[in-house]
Amino acid sequence: MSPPCSRNARLEKALVGRAQVGTHPDHLFGKETSWVKAMDQSLSDDQRRAKRVRRFTIGVSLAMIVFCNAIVLVGLWASGMNLDELAATPDVFNSKQDICLRLGWQPVTGVTEPVRLCSEWINLSDPSGKTHQLQREIKFRQGPDGQYYLDRAGQADYRLLISVLAVVAVIAFGLVAKWYLVGWYRLRLESAAGHGATIVH
């Protein structure tokens, strides 16, 4: 039978060994290293998702630019509107540089009876020599000096305004569609990442 002193010594050595094993720096560094690796893996996954979202956003932006421009061009072609005519000043007879060929009765704002005005003329500065005719939608008014002038207030053409509103609507549609698609793609990536993390755990 061993003396008490030797048994106490062996017990102390066993306790010290267990304490050393439990607090060994290698174990602590191992836990810390695994935690850092997990954090690095999470950051790298987030960075990859962010890059994919940026690439998807650029692709959607380019596709929407092409798509919206196509809608605008097709709409203009289908409507038959001529933007040059909408933006151009109405062609009217000018006695200083035109030669009148035909007169016609035209309604004039502020005058009860129709007035005879030049309805067809030749522009001497036009090298083509083609005759110019008065457009039906053009309105005239009588000025304080008794002369007749183009009535721009009654000449408002709402086709240009409608065209601008249509372009704005198409641009707004493109922005909303881009926002929706990018959000949907981001949620899809996050859902796939969360599902993969659940399987790993």
pLDDT the model gives residue 84:
65
DSSP letter at 80 equals T
* Domain ranges for the chain: 1-86+157-201, 91-150
Rounded Cα distance between 131 and 98, Å, is: 10
Rounded Cα distance between 186 and 49, Å, is: 8
**How does residue 22 score in pLDDT terms, banded at 50, 70 and 90?**
very low
pLDDT the model gives residue 86:
64
Q: The whole model's pTM is what?
A: 0.51
pLDDT the model gives residue 41:
56
pLDDT above 90 for 178: yes
Distances (CA, A) of 11 to 18, 41, 177: 11, 44, 74
pLDDT the model gives residue 12:
52
